[in-house]
Amino acid sequence: MFLTMTTPHTIAIDGPAASGKSTLGKLLADHFGYIYFDTGVLYRALTYVALEQAVDLANAAALAKLAQTSNFEVLAPSVADGRQYTVLANGNDITWPLRAANVERNVSQVAAHPAVREALRDTQRQIGKAGHVVMAGRDIGAVIMPDAQLKIYLDASVEERAQRRAQELNARGRAISYNEVLADLTRRDAIDAANTFLAADAITITTDGRSPEDVFQAIVNLMGVEAQA
């Protein structure tokens, strides 16, 4: 089966945590020469700032106000340290602190508040309207970019995702066991499932046992586009 378009101007990628959204999004963005935007970093940035300022993570109104009064920027990588982008919060580089354990544990709770999600949606929509973008995160195909020419839902078993995330975190120097990551992802999945909207016209791709390159090739094959080295 081939898609009707060969060069979609906007690509939306949804899926659970650690399903491979960021890696695939970067591969597609590089292939087409588009901007890659991971909306999850906005929720992580807000979570980080809220924790730093001791804002009650159960207080949706306070979190939404913090989102509206904070200046979050997602820029091209400014340091050659393996990052996919540079994230600034009120002018401070918080790119790697966004992966800290306390942010990992609390980001789903913060993102679950409808008021928070609404407060951050305008920024996401403006980026999407500009076109030539690959956007990955939550509610992208259904809410943020409902008119995206290509919508992808990446899925994978929680066991597979836990293995990937544990390897990633350990490679970055954070000692954490597979079982710890599995428990955290299982908890986050339960929260996300109750607060996520999925696009009915998204193409679902299961990534268990598949490399990022294999998934990327499967997608460009669907579009009838030759993947260039």
Q: Is residue 85 part of a domain?
A: yes
Q: Is residue 207 part of a domain?
A: yes
Distance CA 140, CA 154 (A): 12
Instruction: Quick: pLDDT tens for 56-112.
Output: 999 999 999 999 999 998 887 889 998 888 999 999 999 999 989 899 899 989 998
Residues of the chain with confidence (pLDDT) below 70: 1-6, 225-229
CATH number at residue 209: 3.40.50.300
**In the Cβ-directed half-sphere of 156, how many Cα atoms lie within 13 Å?**
25
Q: Is residue 106 part of a domain?
A: yes
- Domain holding 83, by residue range, is 10-222
Q: Is residue 3 part of a domain?
A: no
Write the DSSP symbol of residue 99: G
Q: Is residue 166 part of a domain?
A: yes
Tokens of 123: 């920024």
Sheet strand arrangement including 72-75: 72-75, 86-89, 92-93
Residue type, 60: A
Per the prediction, the chain carries an average pLDDT of 90
Domain total for the chain? Answer: 1
Q: Is residue 161 part of a domain?
A: yes
Q: Is residue 75 part of a domain?
A: yes
Q: Is residue 229 part of a domain?
A: no
